[in-house]
């Protein structure tokens, strides 16, 4: 009994450690960031055992995805995008937390176009915990609770995170996607279940960039890629809506497509994209 209690106490102590681990692939400063005192970590008292060890339904989880779920610390925000804390990617994507605790985290969606203004799409890998094998925009992920990705000025932290994940997922090197070349178009807030256990509840920054890049997808993250023009994307959307060929689109991508994308795409081709940038509004989409 005493041994079990001591092990549980050690596990809780580790799970509450404020240290942040840095990816070796990240091109930014690797100095450890001490969380600001005004930010608070959401209590993990009811989920600490799951966070440290996983649970029975997680037994088949891919090892790489498991590591990311437990090691990555997402930035918790309120509906006005104010930072209110941080928690593991695992906890942020449990539907129980989303529904009961209203857990909301910051995210980003990159739309990368080549010089012919074709949009690069990816199909998420089969090993992804949420929305496996669905087609979506170029790269979708989260800024992490680390110094370089918490920078609020002109969404620099989010753009740093986007550069990092484009390399992690698609092998696009940082030199090909400089952070100053991203245009932050706007923000959306949405909630979407993936299955009965997992889901998304995100305040999502939408980033556009036009660059010709070399793509070398990471198979643990990406199953397939393709470039599409506007007409080809409209056909993909039609097929997904009709359930043809087993094609599925991510819910956040469909929301952007249905509400904004083609109008923004036109502005991008005309060179007038800055005319429609709106970082003051947070669009709540369902």
Are the C-beta atoms of residues 233 and 132 closer than 8 Å to each other?
no
Least confident of 24-38, 41-55, 239-253: 24-38
In the three-class reduction of DSSP (H, G, I as helix; E, B as strand; rest coil), residue 65 is classed as: helix
Answer left, alpha or beta for residue 231, where phi above 0 means left and psi between -120 and 50 means alpha.
alpha
pTM assigned to the model: 0.80
Domain ranges of the chain: 63-284
Tokens found for residue 258: 């249905």
Task: Spot the catalytic one: 73, 139, 140, 221.
Answer: 140
**Residue 193 exposed, middle or buried by CB count within 10 Å (0-12, 13-18, 19+):** middle
Least confident of 10-14, 194-198, 208-212: 10-14
Are the C-beta atoms of residues 145 and 86 closer than 8 Å to each other?
yes
Return the sign of the alpha-carbon dihedral for residues 54, 48, 152, 185. positive
Are the C-beta atoms of residues 20 and 145 closer than 8 Å to each other?
yes
Confidence at 41, pLDDT banded by 50, 70, 90: very low
Fold (topology level) of 63-284: Nucleoside Triphosphate Pyrophosphohydrolase (3.90.79)
Q: Is 202 a catalytic residue?
A: yes
Q: Is 152 a catalytic residue?
A: no
């Amino acid at each position: 009994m005493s041994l079990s209690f001591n092990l549980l106490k050690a596990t809780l102590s580790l799970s509450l450690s404020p240290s942040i681990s840095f990816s070796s692939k990240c091109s930014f400063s690797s100095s450890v960031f001490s969380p600001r005192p005004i930010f608070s970590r959401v209590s993990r008292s009811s989920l600490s055992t799951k966070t440290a060890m996983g649970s029975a339904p997680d037994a088949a989880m891919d090892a790489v995805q498991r590591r990311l779920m437990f090691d990555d610390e997402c930035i918790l925000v309120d509906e006005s995008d104010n930072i209110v804390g941080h928690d593991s990617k695992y906890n942020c994507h449990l539907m129980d937390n989303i529904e009961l605790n209203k857990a909301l985290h910051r995210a980003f969606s990159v739309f990368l176009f080549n010089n012919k203004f074709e949009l690069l799409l990816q199909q998420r890998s089969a090993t992804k915990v949420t929305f496996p094998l669905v087609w979506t925009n170029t790269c979708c992920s989260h800024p992490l609770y680390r110094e370089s990705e918490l920078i609020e000025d002109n969404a620099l932290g989010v753009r740093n995170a986007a550069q990092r994940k484009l390399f992690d997922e698609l092998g696009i090197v940082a030199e090909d996607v400089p952070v100053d070349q991203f245009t932050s178009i706007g923000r959306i807030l949405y909630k979407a279940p993936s299955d009965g256990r997992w889901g998304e509840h995100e305040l999502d920054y939408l980033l556009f960039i036009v660059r010709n890049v070399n793509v070398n997808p990471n198979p643990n993250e990406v199953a397939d890629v393709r470039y599409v023009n506007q007409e080809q994307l409209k056909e993909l959307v039609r097929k997904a809506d009709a359930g043809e060929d087993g094609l599925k689109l991510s819910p956040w991508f469909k929301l952007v497509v249905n509400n904004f994308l083609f109008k923004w795409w036109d502005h991008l081709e005309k060179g007038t994209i800055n005319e429609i940038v709106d970082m003051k509004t947070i669009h709540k989409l369902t």
